[in-house]
A and B are shown apart, each in its own frame.
Chain A
Amino acid sequence: MAQTQGAYYVPHGSHWPIIGSFGLLGTVGGAGLWLNEADIGKPIMAVGIALLLFMMFGWFGTVIRESIGGKYNKQVDTSFRMGMIWFIFSEVMFFAAFFGALFYARTYSVPWLGGAGHGALTNHYLWPAFSAAWPTNGPAGVGGAFSTMSPWGIPLLNTLLLLSSGVTITIAHHALRAGNRKQLLVFLALTVVLGVIFLGFQAHEYAEAYGHLNLTLGSGVYGSTFFMLTGFHGMHVTLGAIMLTVIWFRCAKGHFTKDNHFGFEAVAWYWHFVDVVWLGLFLFVYVL
């Protein structure tokens, strides 16, 4: 079915994308129905997600087979790299929207409601009892009183965890390039373990927040930004950990060579990206 076009490999036809599209439609259509309280929503969403997973297995499987089959030359490799880089850039911009919301709330909307600048009128006419402070759940106290997480407990630990996972994956990368398989596998595994511990702590933290601090997604703008940012980050860590696991198996199978291991590098980049986002989170969500 597939054939090489001159030097650049151009695959001929693939059924995976259309399966993926059905998967996406099922996922979001199901989610939409579910949010609108239709019983059929959940099963449809489940089918959609299953289709997406099926698509990913199939699609990546094909790519891996082609890659091992030596179909990809340097130029194809470069295309993949650019694809990954720009994908990560798009993710950065996705997080930028939420960071933007956080900064906006902290520097504009909350002080304004508290009477800063021209906002004196807003405060006078609408929210006379409100004085600006951060964290806050707003002049109406949406979600009820809550307490916040200290940055110097679990969050600090999590920072250290992620930072060291950045180091371990770099060591693994060096090992891969040096052809040291054992070191590669150990340090890659370590990276996954660190990631999973991070997630464990994060889950614990959420349980703490909901269970004891009354800090929820509904806790005004603080809760909103807190959980959206850490939540989306956590989802990305989860995804990264899964990708790392897949890569570990591929390393174990010997899919990668010293100078041909785009898959590994792509995931490593992703992991670093997740890492850097966390640093931003730690600084702006927890510490400041």
Chain B
Amino acid sequence: MKNFTLILTLFSALLVLNSCNDDEQMMSTADVYTHGTFVINQGKFGSGTGTISFISNNDNSVSQNIYQENNEGLVLGNVAQSMARVGNRFLITINNSEKVEIINASDFTYENTIEGIAQARYVLALNNDEALITSWGASGTDGKIFKVNTNTATINTTIDVSGGPEKMIAVDDVIYVTNSGGFFRDSIVYLLNETGDAIDSEIVVGDNPSDLVLDANGDVWVLCNGYTDFSDPNQSTNGRLVQLRNGSVVNSFEIGNGSSQLEVSKDGNTLFYMNGGKVYSHDINNTSLSSTIIYEGFFYGMGVNPFNGNIYLADAVDFDSNGNVVILDEDGEIIETLEVGIIPGEFLFED
């Protein structure tokens, strides 16, 4: 009996120790996701699933498929468009699945789903519990901006816009929203009120505005892709880099058709954008376009880490295989190339 009690005690102790180890592992797993870069991989078009890769700031190690890993094999859906932090949660827009997944930011576990957001695009946090989400609508022509509550996973208000609302930025008490035209043509940047409930005004910029950033002077820069007419290339228009101050256009530079991915340097003085297989930079204080080429290559996405200034380029390779992320320093020198998931498109940087 004595031996039995001893064995039982040892066994219990082992169990307790073992469970402690598990807790530590879970804690360390959660810690990993707080100092690095999330790569939002769209997944194969049409029938794949989006995935999330995480690049650690410490050693540039990559954790693949972290959503599946932390959620017992659950998959996000098709296509993972973007990801943003809203308080203690991450929101991931899944455009073809017409939903937005709400993820617990501490352990990357699934919390809830906001359904019925057709072709969801981007998220802007209003506060710890509310966010705006842009949506192209089912047909790509009936755009909407949804205000959602992440506690309840419900839509509070809906603003109808023309086709293809894209990225948003909040500057003081104004929210800027680019309206890209979706599959068609548009040239509007909407200005919403502070609470994101209504459109206050709109600015005409250039054809198909999609991206926008805030520079060191507090000006908003808008990148317009330009309109592409496949059936009649003569109808295509060039892109534009438009500088907005207090809701008005103060500068507009012509750039190539198909320009995309506007980013700003850590100090806010340099803009980066891509066109025709080149990454360009533009000094915000130049009165003419200073299109310096900092890197060459065709990339599907770009991000600038606001904490260290490194430039992240997403290489979708053949749009079927795992993609790569090329990390450049601020001068355009390669730091590292890392394999991530299928069709990397967006980045979210966490300090």
User: Do chains A and B stick together as partners?
Assistant: no
